[in-house]
């Protein structure tokens, strides 16, 4: 306990293909967005992050964090925001540095361990609003940030933070870098690298001498890109040092609030080390769901009450853990 052994995700036949589930959910899903208002967080280092907020000044808010090269308006972010709004929970969709449509000011980038940026968002929310309860929820890279933050804070976590949730989380970054570098993921890797290289090109004049532009432009995988850019501009010694330092799996044992992790067994982005069955079995607060299907941030083909299966399961977790009696 609490590995959730009864998993009721039963996708239609075509969505038993991990790649189809991943791609179709990301590209073809249409979500009517909630009414959003943008607010800017000025960071202590002189940079900024933009938040897309949907607030009714209720007593509870969810802070949502997107994945690699995502943003606050991706379908998975909007779909989850809509699902939480049904429960009368306000939502704040975070755009990580450089992901809001405007380049960030510094060479420093967001990365899988940007827990300091998440802390500044939480501090901003606490300074400007009076929420009694906060839910942290992240997808993929954003899920790793959320779970790393929760584990690092352990017993010292802000008592207003009630729940922590991660979906399709690369909680062991080393195994994930190897997995996504496999031939079956060639299209995803190329798309990620193309987007990341475009951002580097825009900052070419700001690169420091130790950042080799030619090496970055020819990077063929995350090992090379993270070594020549992510590690160097964010204070890590190497790609492997970055991955080891920022993986959330080693700190999952420390989480001190109810935490939900949903990782599909067929997710081609995740290495075998990203399924912390043993940790969950030994931890009363870590709830782990690992359906056989779902792809990466997919979970289509088995809609529940107008929601993706993952959104439905998150809603159930929130209702049960926070005892929202009106929704039981």
Domain that holds residue 213: 177-246
Q: How does pLDDT run across 55-113, given as a tens digit for each residue?
A: 998 999 999 999 999 999 999 999 999 999 999 999 999 999 999 999 999 999 999 99
pLDDT at residue 326, as a whole number: 76
Q: Is the domain of 21 the same as that of 83?
A: yes
CB 297 within 8 A of CB 268: no
Lookup result for tokens 């935490």 = 259
Asked if residue 83 is part of any domain, the answer here is: yes
- Collapsing DSSP to helix, strand or coil, 174 comes out as helix
Q: Is the domain of 240 the same as that of 276?
A: no
For 49, counting Cβ atoms within 10 Å of its Cβ (0-12 exposed, 13-18 middle, 19+ buried), the class is buried
Q: Is the domain of 146 the same as that of 33?
A: yes
Q: Count of domains in the chain?
A: 2
- Band of pLDDT at residue 3, cut at 50, 70 and 90: low
pLDDT at residue 328, as a whole number: 55
pLDDT of 4 above 80: no
By C-alpha distance, which of 263, 266, 267 is closest to 276?
263
How many angstroms separate the CA atoms of 118 and 116, rounded?
A: 5
Instruction: Write down the H helix ranges in the chain.
Output: 18-27, 75-86, 115-128, 141-153, 173-180, 186-202, 213-217, 222-225, 231-233, 239-246, 277-281, 309-322
Asked if residue 189 is part of any domain, the answer here is: yes
Q: Is the domain of 155 the same as that of 254?
A: yes
Lookup result for tokens 């850019």 = 229
pLDDT of 26 above 70: yes
Half-sphere exposure of residue 302: CA atoms within 13 angstroms, side-chain side: 20
pLDDT at residue 57, as a whole number: 84
Where is the domain boundary, 227, 246, 265? Answer: 246
- Band of pLDDT at residue 163, cut at 50, 70 and 90: very high
pLDDT at residue 1, as a whole number: 53
Percent of the chain at pLDDT above 90?
Answer: 94
Where is the domain boundary, 246, 274, 307? Answer: 246
- Band of pLDDT at residue 281, cut at 50, 70 and 90: very high
Where is the domain boundary, 194, 214, 246? Answer: 246
Asked if residue 6 is part of any domain, the answer here is: no
CB 62 within 8 A of CB 91: yes
Q: Is the domain of 62 the same as that of 138?
A: yes
Q: Is the domain of 292 the same as that of 161?
A: yes
pLDDT at residue 325, as a whole number: 76
Residue 287 tokens, joined: 């709830």
Q: How does pLDDT run across 111-129, given as a tens digit for each residue?
A: 999 999 999 999 999 999 9
Q: Is the domain of 294 the same as that of 241?
A: no
pLDDT of 291 above 70: yes
Q: Is the domain of 76 the same as that of 32?
A: yes
């Amino acid at each position: 306990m609490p590995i959730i052994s009864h998993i009721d995700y039963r996708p239609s036949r075509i969505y038993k293909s991990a790649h189809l589930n991943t791609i179709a959910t990301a590209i073809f899903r249409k979500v009517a967005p909630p009414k959003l208002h943008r607010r800017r967080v000025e960071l202590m280092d002189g940079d900024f992050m933009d938040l897309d907020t949907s607030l009714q000044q209720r007593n509870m808010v969810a802070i949502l964090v997107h994945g690699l090269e995502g943003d606050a308006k991706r379908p998975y972010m909007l779909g989850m925001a809509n699902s939480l709004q049904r429960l009368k929970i306000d939502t704040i969709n975070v755009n990580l540095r450089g992901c809001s449509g405007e380049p960030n000011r510094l060479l420093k980038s967001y990365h899988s361990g940007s827990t300091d940026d998440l802390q500044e968002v939480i501090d901003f929310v606490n300074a400007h609003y009076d929420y009694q309860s906060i839910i942290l929820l992240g997808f993929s890279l954003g899920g790793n940030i959320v779970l790393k933050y929760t584990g690092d804070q352990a017993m010292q976590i802000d008592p207003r933070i009630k729940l922590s949730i991660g979906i399709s989380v690369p909680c062991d970054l080393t195994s994930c870098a190897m997995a996504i570098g496999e031939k079956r993921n060639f299209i995803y890797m190329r798309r990620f690298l193309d987007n990341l290289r475009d951002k580097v090109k825009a900052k070419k004049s700001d690169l420091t001498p130790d950042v080799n532009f030619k090496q970055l432009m020819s990077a063929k995988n995350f090992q090379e890109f993270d070594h020549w850019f992510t590690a160097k501009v964010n204070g890590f010694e190497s790609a492997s040092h970055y991955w080891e330092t920022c993986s959330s799996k080693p700190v999952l044992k420390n989480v001190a609030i109810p935490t939900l992790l949903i990782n599909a067994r067929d997710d081609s982005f995740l290495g075998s080390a990203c399924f912390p069955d043993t940790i969950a079995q030994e931890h009363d607060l870590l709830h782990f769901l690992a359906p056989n299907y779902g792809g990466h941030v997919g979970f289509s083909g088995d809609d529940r009450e107008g929601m993706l299966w993952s959104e439905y399961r998150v809603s159930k977790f929130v209702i049960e853990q926070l005892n929202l009696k009106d929704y039981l």
